[in-house]
């Protein structure tokens, strides 16, 4: 097991990317967000993931976010960076940028738009792994990519040492369990906000919840309780976090899409808590209304989340 794989345990939040009024990365807010996460005791940070709006960032924004994170973390925990794009050459370019900026690992999905065969997915990872010195973490998110990192594919990637860990955002607990069986020894981290307690109980090495941007302490309490076998406490915390996750259902999806609704809700909650200055999302995602933000504030009150900065 690589040194990084041994450290990929616990809660590793996929950080949101805060923007200022010009659309540039808000470095002050990003540093504050990272400080809050590290202060809570997070075990790593993940930049340029789905919650970080990776598909909407330009090269300058990606580099700015990673540079700020590497500087702020200063080696305290691993910094993972998404290298996510339609094709292998683009992913290699992003991975090399992350490596040059000081990331500890790159997180890679299957290529998308091209509907790859499983053998082509394995080849994609082989080329990326050969192009950089950094460890590669696989990322299964079929809702965005359209192709699965099936248990069979993950087993092949692990056997050939093309990945050191997997982030599972498939939402498929049966598949998650089969992946654990087919790739024993490979750390698998769950990206589910709502099934985190079940995932840890099944054997997840850690959690990568987008909602952890809003409530890092809640996911740490859940993880620690589940790892200790205190399923009653873990279940109670999961139920509380599910009430918080309801903020993603507040935005009117007759007006905006599901991505704008979820990420807009996360960022609105973060702004209400004083973690980031501005809840804006990247174009073309549209903003939440004032009424929706007020409803999110009411949910924060209900789950006892106050301003922290």
Helix (H) or strand (E) holding 137: strand 136-140
**205 in any annotated domain:** yes
Sign of CA dihedral 142, 146, 147, 150: positive
Q: In this structure, what token pair is assigned to residue 158?
A: 């692990």
Question: What domain range is 15 assigned to?
Answer: 3-229
pTM higher than 0.85: yes
C-alpha–C-alpha distance, residues 169 and 179, integer Å: 12
Let me know if residue 130 belongs to a domain. yes
CATH of the domain at 98: 3.20.20.70
Q: What is the pLDDT of residues 136-153, one digit of tens each?
A: 999 999 999 999 999 999
Does residue 223 sit within a domain? yes
**Residue 22 counted as domain residue:** yes
Residue 139 annotated among the catalytic residues of the structure: yes
User: What pLDDT, on the 0 to 100 scale, is given for residue 1?
Assistant: 53
Per the structure, the count of domains in the chain is 1
pLDDT one-digit tens code per residue, 187-234? 999 999 999 999 999 999 999 999 999 999 999 999 999 999 999 999
200 within domain boundaries: yes
Contact criterion met (CB below 8 Å) for 238 and 245: no
Q: One of 139, 219, 223, 245 is an active-site residue; which one?
A: 139
Q: Return the pLDDT at 197.
A: 97
Closest by CA position to 139, among listed 200, 93, 174, 95 = 95
Q: Residue 205 CB: number of other CB atoms within 10 A?
A: 22
In a domain, 296, yes or no: no
Name the catalytic one among 167, 219, 223, 245: 167
Is 152 contained in some domain?
yes
Query: Is 294 annotated as catalytic?
Result: no
Q: Is residue 30 included in any domain, yes or no?
A: yes
């Amino acid at each position: 097991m690589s040194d990084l794989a041994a450290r990929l345990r616990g809660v590793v939040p996929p950080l949101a990317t805060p923007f200022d009024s010009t659309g540039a990365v808000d470095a002050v807010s990003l540093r504050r967000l990272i400080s809050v996460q590290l202060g809570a005791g997070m075990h790593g940070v993940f930049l340029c993931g789905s919650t970080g709006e990776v598909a909407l960032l330009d090269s300058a924004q990606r580099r700015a976010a990673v540079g700020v994170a590497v500087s702020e973390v200063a080696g305290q925990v691993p910094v993972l960076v998404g290298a996510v794009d339609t094709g292998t050459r683009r992913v290699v370019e992003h991975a090399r940028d992350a490596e040059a900026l000081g990331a500890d690992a790159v997180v890679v999905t299957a290529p998308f738009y091209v509907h790859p065969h499983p053998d082509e997915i394995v080849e994609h990872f082989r080329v990326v792994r050969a192009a950089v010195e950094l460890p590669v973490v696989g990322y299964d998110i079929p809702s965005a990519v359209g192709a699965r990192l099936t248990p069979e594919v993950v087993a092949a990637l692990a056997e050939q040492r093309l990945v050191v860990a997997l982030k599972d955002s498939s939402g498929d607990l049966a598949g998650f369990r089969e992946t654990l069986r087919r790739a024993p020894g490979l750390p698998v981290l769950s990206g589910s906000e709502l099934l985190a307690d079940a995932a840890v109980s099944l054997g997840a090495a850690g959690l990568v919840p987008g909602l952890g941007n809003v409530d890092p302490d809640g996911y740490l309490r859940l993880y620690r309780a589940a790892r200790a076998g205190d399923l009653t406490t873990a279940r109670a915390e999961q139920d509380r976090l599910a009430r918080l996750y309801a903020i993603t259902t507040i935005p009117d999806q007759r007006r905006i899409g599901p991505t704008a609704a979820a990420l807009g809700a996360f960022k609105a909650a973060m702004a209400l808590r004083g973690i980031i200055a501005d809840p804006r999302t990247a174009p073309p995602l549209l903003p939440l209304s004032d009424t929706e933000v007020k409803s999110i504030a009411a949910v924060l009150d209900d789950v006892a989340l106050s301003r922290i900065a």
